[in-house]
Amino acid sequence: MTSDVALLGIRHHGPGSARAVAAALEAWQPDAVLIEGPPEADGIVRLAAEKDLVPPVALLAHAVDDPAKAAFWPYAEFSPEWVAIRYGVERELPVRFIDLPAGYGFSPADAEDPVDSEEPAEAVEPAEPVVEPVADPLAVLAEAAGHDDPERWWEDVVEHRAPGADALAPFAAVAEAMAALRAEGLGESRRDRLREAYMRQQIRAARRAGHGRIAVVCGAFHVPALAAMPTVAHDRALLAELPRKVRTDITWVPWTHRRLSQATGYGAGVQSPGWYHHLFTTEGDPVPRWLTRAAELLRAEDHPVSSAHVIEAVRLARTLAVLRGRPLAGLTETLDAVRAVLCEGSDVALELVRDRLVVGDALGEVPDAAPAVPLQRDLVRLQRSLRLKPEAAPKDLDLDLRKDTDAARSRLLHRLRLLGVDWGVPARSSVNSTGTFRESWRLCWQPEFAVRIAEAAQWGTTVEDAATGKAVGTARAAVELAELTGLVETCLLAGLAGALPAVMRVLADRAALDTDVAHLAGALPALVRALRYGDVRGTDHGALGEVASGLADRICVGLPPACVGLDAEGAAAMRGRLDEVHGAIGLLGSVTRPGSGDPAAPDAPGESAAAESPAAAESPAVAEGLADRWAAALRSLARREPTGGPATGAPGLLRGRAVRLLLDDGRLDSEEAGRRLRLVLSVANAPVDAAGWIEGFLTGGGALLLHDPRLLALLDEWLTGVPGEVFTDVLPLLRRTFAGLEAGVRSTVGSRVAAGPLGEAPVAQASGGALDRDRADAAVPVVALLLGVRPRIPRQAAGRDT
């Protein structure tokens, strides 16, 4: 301390330090406040006086020409810097940030000093180099005091103690301790020396400006370097080493307590921000009130907690503090009491308290006056108009796309995902529905989205324009055909009509040149799924249908030859594509028929427009022709047996799968399927190939073994006849095959095999008598009610009371 400068060394995000700073400022009465932080923020620090700027918040600085280069300085209500900021702006004092400008950290010449936020005591600083192993000053001091836990020691010494009569005395003691550490050369780095030289220059500038009482709020580790002022020439020589400063923008952004608790990325390493907030904002003993909040939380989650539990928990926490020699029950004692009394020993209930109260989901707010790129302002406008408030806690959202507001919400979320802002992630719907008119999302706002929005601003000034520009740019840079078809699907979901023509041109060109059947097969499913969206979203997908039909035709021609000579890994990958293409072609035939809209959404807007599109105008004969060509391709694949070794034919996995798909579609009867199975299981074929055939044939459901005992008998006969030396080779394939069957099927198959020899004759159907139409008609209304359809009353029953 000097006569004109009070150096207030603090630990970032500490409630005890924040209280001590508040008391020291009131006692010192400075006429200028200098704070460790980026000087670029001097122009927006006055926004802290706005009631709409609610912590936790953060200063976000990013390079103007490369927004991906960014750094955050987070502040919570219990941050000492925030207390100093509010003190200065409320009294209209000069408030200046005195750390190195953020622009130096974004310079390419500073690449050897990477951004590292994993610094517990200096977590608000953006870019710290990892030059040498640095010991934790708190750990050294705690060890000298005889404590093995530096966090607990610091809480006892600082965080849990109220300011005394001399408000500046704690800072003098901390400064003396840090001076002793730095005298031993502990923890100093090149970047620290540069930062401290810059801070000293700013203190000199404040003196030259005529300020006689200056308060400097900075990390405690820097206090000794700021107290021992070297010459101006010394500091200028150090600062001459700085790289070129990059042009930088800065603003306030919302932050969260959960992000403060993370020690990596943009976090601050505060393990218990919710607890610290409670310590700072609670007058008197904080333990009873905190345990009361824990009881309220547990009761809301149906845990039986009474006021007697709270009283006993308070007693236990205080007793543990006395036994452990602590001045006040800390978080450790409080959580021990919660586990033992409120949670009755349950760690599951305790984790709920940790998540909701120790960490918490508080999300800050930023006023409209804060600087922002146009894209950010457009997003805020859309969030308000669509009543989608950003929240830090995860939230489920179900959308009905037949409603205008929900459809607009869906488009916004898909557009943001295209821009890399995953505010919403598709989730499994809580409402069972197979229609395309319903979507489910899991929403969770993350602070770093502010950087991604700034980065996406290069594509446009509105969300729609930016998403359109990003889609076109992604299409031109795409390498795989599947990337383009997935992008088309995203454009339709996001309602980006302006991007579709350009993306479709690139897709058509790439599809015409790509001859790899695997690429075509991987691209078709997403393209066909996209065709469905026109029914609900009113999209003209005529050009999409033409490209999809062209891809399907080329797959039908090229699939059988492409399956020859594949190894086990390639065959497994191709089998997945085979199933996807089979479903896609079946769907393509349904969506290209007139009036084939989504059966689950008969009244969806845009249905008539979709029916009039060129794709919908295809005749049923064209769709049936495609289905016939696909069936012919499957038959050709099923016949490609390896006659001269594995490399001369298609793997058994794919041949068996082709037979199963034909059987399920009614293109092959059970007699022919049994004949093919008999041929495959003959002694002339390799057992490994036969096992692969069985895997492909049974994958997706083994109920046909129960309905056709002849197939089960053939399989049983082959399996019992496999030589012992070969059985160990086919066993993994068989285990994998039967493990994929339904549990009921496996159990029934085992029971039938255990019952004795399996005959080849089908199970005789129980003979039934004549149909009692009166009794059948009586059940029609009940069945119709269960199915949710309007019952059709038979003519002969129209006059009866059913």
What's the rounded mean pLDDT across residues 516-534? 77
Q: Cβ distance 451 to 70 under 8 Å?
A: yes
- pLDDT exceeds cutoff 50 at 289: yes
Top pLDDT among 417 and 720 is at: 417
Q: What is the pLDDT of residue 251?
A: 93
The share of the chain scoring above pLDDT 90, in percent, equals: 33
Rounded to an integer, the average pLDDT of 279-297 is: 92
DSSP 762: P
pLDDT of 531 higher than 80: no
Predicted pLDDT at 248: 92
Facing residues of 72 across strands? Answer: 60
pLDDT of residue 592: 52
Candidate from 91-95, 612-616, 711-715, 746-750 with smallest mean pLDDT: 612-616
Taking the mean position of all CA atoms in its chain, how far away is CA 392? 13
Among 717, 670, 660, 644, smallest CA distance to 692 is for 660
Taking residues 679-688, what's their average pLDDT? Answer: 76
Q: How confident is the model at residue 443 (pLDDT cuts 50, 70, 90)?
A: very high
The strand pairing partners of 95, in sequence order, are: 33
Specify the length of the chain in residues: 802
- pLDDT higher than 90, residue 500: no
Amino acid letter at 214? I
- Top pLDDT among 423 and 797 is at 423
pLDDT at 607: 37
Q: Which of 226, 349, 268, 323 is nearest to 56 (CA)?
A: 268
Confidence of residue 153 (pLDDT cuts 50, 70, 90): confident
Please tell me the predicted confidence (pLDDT) of residue 129. Answer: 34
Strand order in the sheet with 95-97: 5-10, 214-219, 32-35, 95-97
132 burial level (CB within 10 Å; 0-12, 13-18, 19+) = exposed
Of 252 and 712, the one with more pLDDT: 252
| Band (608; pLDDT cuts 50, 70, 90) | very low
pLDDT value of position 666: 84
Q: Specify the range with the lowest mean pLDDT, choosing from 123-127, 190-194, 329-333, 512-516.
A: 123-127
Strands (E), 395-449: 395-400, 424-426, 438-443
Q: Burial-class residue 249 by CB neighbours within 10 Å (0-12, 13-18, 19+).
A: middle
Which of 180-194, 550-564, 611-625, 772-786 is predicted most confidently?
Answer: 550-564
pLDDT at 271 over 90: no
Instruction: Please state, in angstroms and as integers, the Cα–Cα distance from residue 135 to each residue in 18, 120, 234, 239, 571, following that order.
Output: 25, 11, 27, 26, 55
Packed helices 449-456 and 374-385: angle between N→C axes, nearest 10 degrees = 120
What pLDDT does residue 420 have? 92
Taking residues 14-23, what's their average pLDDT? 90
**Using one digit for the tens of pLDDT, what is the confidence trace for 110-139?**
544 433 333 333 333 333 333 344 456 777
Q: Is the pLDDT of residue 760 over 80?
A: no
Tens of pLDDT, residue by residue over 536-548, are: 444 556 667 777 7
Q: Which long-range contacts (CB under 8 A, 24 or more apart) does 471-479 make?
A: 471/418, 471/496, 471/499, 471/503, 472/499, 472/502, 472/503, 475/499, 475/502, 475/503, 475/506, 475/507, 476/506, 478/506, 478/510
- Given this model, what pLDDT does residue 683 score? 65
Which of the given ranges, 42-56, 597-611, 783-797, has the highest pLDDT on average? 42-56
- Give me the pLDDT at residue 1, please: 62
727-749 confidence digits (pLDDT tens): 787 788 778 777 777 777 778 87
The predicted pLDDT at position 534 comes to 52
Identify the CA nearest to 81 among candidates 51, 48, 106, 50.
48
Mean pLDDT, all residues of the chain: 81
**pLDDT exceeds 90 at position 386:** yes
Q: Which helix (H) or strand (E) holds 219?
A: strand 214-219
The CA distance from 1 to 431, in Å, is 66
- Say if residues 340 and 291 touch (Cβ distance below 8 Å): no
Sign of the CA dihedral 247, 249, 250, 255? negative
Q: Which residues pair with 34 in a beta bridge?
A: 96, 216
Q: Is pLDDT at 150 greater than 50 in this prediction?
A: yes
Residue 118 sits at φ, ψ, to 5 deg, of -90, 60
pLDDT digits (tens, 9 = 90+) for 559-585: 888 888 888 888 888 988 888 888 888
CA atoms in the 13 A half-sphere facing the CB of 298: 27
pLDDT recorded at residue 116: 36
pLDDT digits (tens, 9 = 90+) for 634-647: 989 888 887 666 56
Q: What is the pLDDT of residue 727?
A: 79
pLDDT above 50: residue 600? no
Q: What is the pLDDT of residue 118?
A: 34
Count of H-run helices and E-run strands, the chain: 34, 10
**DSSP letter (8 states) at residue 130:** -
The verdict on pTM exceeding 0.75 is no
**pLDDT tens-digit map of 65-121:** 888 888 899 999 999 999 999 999 999 999 999 999 999 988 775 544 433 333 333
553: tokens are 């035709």
Mean pLDDT of 160-172: 81
Residue 701 has pLDDT above 80, yes or no: no
Above 70 in pLDDT, residue 555? Answer: yes
